[in-house]
């Protein structure tokens, strides 16, 4: 039997039943990577010798009677996580030789759960793109169409899962970096509530790997089923043992409902600042129909929904000001002059991004105060609804675009051109207030490309959108391997 596209849950059951060994699973996964990854370029740092050793250790542990959540299951890890003995570059050439001495806290949790790490997956330069390419490791192609991107910044992980390279992967998300690659490659991903999973060791080289939780940014699971997402989230979730973990014990609330007909869902397919392409709109409507057919309460409008245009503006302000602070720019004074020259009436997202590049601390505090107002609005919203269904980006995977100036790139939405980074408005809907969001596949576009949507849930109620994802998987189907 071939195991490469089996779920983690299925693999765990087979391992417990003695139907297969971890060594066999690992050898099979490595063989598939060696056969197929030249065309995909998902695994940028293979670690096959240590993986085989870890698989042997897992089999010996099981023979001794041990059983852990991921014992013996092959997985991959996004390149941006520190793994002792392997390079962590974030795709940045000056750091191509940086090798950390310690594992990131999430890598430690994977290993403690018994996972077998096959290697690291490709990312964009500095994790700052919606595609995954860099000078060190090259370009990751979409398994469904090699002329198109797999997404970013967890594009290598999504492509690996879609290609059968391991059962699970861990990624990160600040601008849709878990959800967009999942949408583009036809897999599942979950952006946890902000602060739910510790991120120490997921830090630009050369570190140091301090227990600092960055604004907006999260780490999270990727898989080929919704149940596997829950399995991996349970491994990842919890505070850093160096900080909040000293005093806090995590206990996530159960899902609000177990049956589809009990869910109250708001469905959105239009954004005031950006149109939604026909293929993605069809995916949203497919989910809406499944919800209605299953007896769920489905609404298309609600006065409780926070203002989408203001949410997108706040998200851009917080995202860009934080990114510029982490990756300093040399032309600050020129940017300041350009921003000062903007018309006060120009509220385009391009203009807001430029202004955010030169934000003062006071500017950031003003934006943060507005964010808190939005968070309060979401609390009121989720007193009446359980989830929001909406796009992740306005289109399926787009062709590779390596224009060195991202501000000159454009995204094509049903034949019309829009600024490249405007497509982040949907990702920001959950990211700005720190809400959990689960990306699920909904089928394929007329061109045969995967199309996904996200299910946004209440803060720290991550099991609610994950359970809804599982129920929808039963109604509309889930992952399909590329043809």
Phi, psi (deg, nearest 5) at residue 297: -80, 120
Kind of pairing between the strands at 450-456 and 145-149: unpaired
Catalytic position from the list 22, 150, 153, 154 = 153
Contacts of 21 (CB under 8 A, 6+ apart): 15, 55, 59, 72
User: Residues 113, 69: contact at Cβ < 8 Å?
Assistant: yes
**Distance in angstroms (rounded) separating the CA atoms of residues 194 and 213:** 9
d(C-alpha 252, C-alpha 234), whole Å: 9
Contacts of 313 (CB under 8 A, 6+ apart): 347, 349, 352
Catalytic status, residue 153: yes
The verdict on whether 78 is a catalytic residue reads yes
Q: Which of 169, 177, 199, 321 is catalytic?
A: 177
Q: How far apart are CA 161 and CA 229, in angstroms?
A: 12
- Residues 423 and 413: their CA atoms lie apart, in Å, by 10
> Pick from 203, 31, 13: which is nearest to 107 by CA?
203
Per-residue CA distances from 342 to 315, 337, 365 (Å): 20, 9, 21
CA–CA gap between residue 231 and residue 317 (Å, rounded): 34
Contact 442, 475 (CB under 8 A): no
CA dihedral (474, 476, 479, 483) in degrees, to 10, reads 140
Helix (DSSP H) and strand (DSSP E) numbers for the chain: 14, 17
Measure the CA–CA gap between 194 and 218, rounded to whole angstroms: 6
Q: How far is it, in rounded angstroms, from Cα 89 to Cα 126?
A: 8
Taking the C-alpha atoms of residue 111 and residue 131, their distance in angstroms, rounded to an integer, is: 28
6 is catalytic: no
- Per annotation, catalytic residue among 22, 78, 323, 445: 78
Q: Which residues are catalytic?
A: 78, 153, 177
């Amino acid at each position: 039997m071939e195991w490469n596209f089996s779920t983690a849950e299925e693999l765990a059951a087979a391992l417990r039943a003695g139907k297969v060994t971890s060594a066999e699973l690992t050898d099979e996964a490595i063989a598939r990577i060696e056969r197929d990854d030249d065309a995909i370029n998902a695994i940028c740092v293979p670690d096959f010798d240590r993986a085989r050793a870890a698989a042997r250790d897992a089999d010996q542990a099981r023979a001794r009677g041990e059983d852990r959540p991921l014992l013996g299951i092959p997985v991959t890890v996004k390149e941006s996580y520190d793994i002792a003995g392997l390079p962590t570059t974030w795709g940045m050439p000056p750091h191509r030789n940086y090798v950390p001495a310690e594992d990131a806290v999430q890598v430690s949790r994977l290993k403690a759960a018994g996972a077998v790490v096959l290697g690291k997956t490709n990312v964009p330069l500095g994790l700052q793109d919606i595609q995954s390419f860099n000078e060190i490791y090259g370009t990751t192609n979409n398994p469904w169409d090699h002329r198109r991107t797999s997404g970013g910044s967890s594009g290598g992980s999504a492509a690996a899962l879609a290609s059968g390279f391991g059962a699970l992967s861990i990624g990160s998300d600040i601008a849709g970096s878990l959800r967009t690659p999942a949408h583009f490659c036809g897999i599942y991903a979950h952006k946890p509530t902000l602060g739910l999973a510790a991120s120490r060791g997921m830090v630009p080289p050369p570190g140091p790997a301090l227990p600092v939780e960055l604004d907006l940014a999260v780490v999270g699971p990727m898989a080929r089923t919704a149940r596997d997402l829950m399995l991996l989230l349970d491994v990842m979730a919890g505070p850093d043992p160096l900080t909040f973990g000293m005093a806090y014990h995590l206990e996530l609330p159960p899902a609000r409902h177990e049956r589809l007909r009990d869910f109250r869902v708001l469905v959105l397919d239009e954004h005031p600042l950006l149109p939604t392409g026909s293929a993605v709109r069809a995916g949203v409507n497919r989910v809406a129909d499944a919800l209605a057919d299953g007896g769920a309460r489905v609404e298309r409008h609600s006065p409780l929904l926070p203002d989408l245009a203001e949410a997108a503006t706040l998200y851009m302000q917080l995202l860009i000001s934080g990114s510029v602070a982490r990756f300093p720019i040399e032309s600050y004074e020129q940017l300041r002059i350009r921003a000062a020259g903007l018309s006060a009436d120009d509220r385009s997202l391009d203009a807001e991004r430029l202004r955010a590049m030169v934000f003062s601390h006071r500017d950031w505090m003003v934006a943060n105060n507005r964010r808190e107002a939005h968070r309060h609005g979401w609390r009121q919203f989720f007193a009446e609804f359980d989830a929001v269904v909406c796009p992740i980006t306005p289109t399926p995977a787009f062709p590779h675009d390596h224009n060195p100036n991202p501000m000159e790139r454009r995204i094509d939405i049903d034949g019309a051109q829009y600024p490249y980074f405007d497509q982040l408005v949907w990702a920001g809907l959950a990211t700005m207030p720190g809400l959990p969001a689960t990306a699920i596949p909904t089928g394929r576009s007329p061109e045969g490309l995967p199309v996904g949507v996200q299910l946004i849930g209440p803060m720290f109620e991550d099991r609610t959108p994950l359970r809804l994802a599982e129920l929808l998987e039963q109604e509309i189907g889930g992952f399909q391997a590329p043809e």
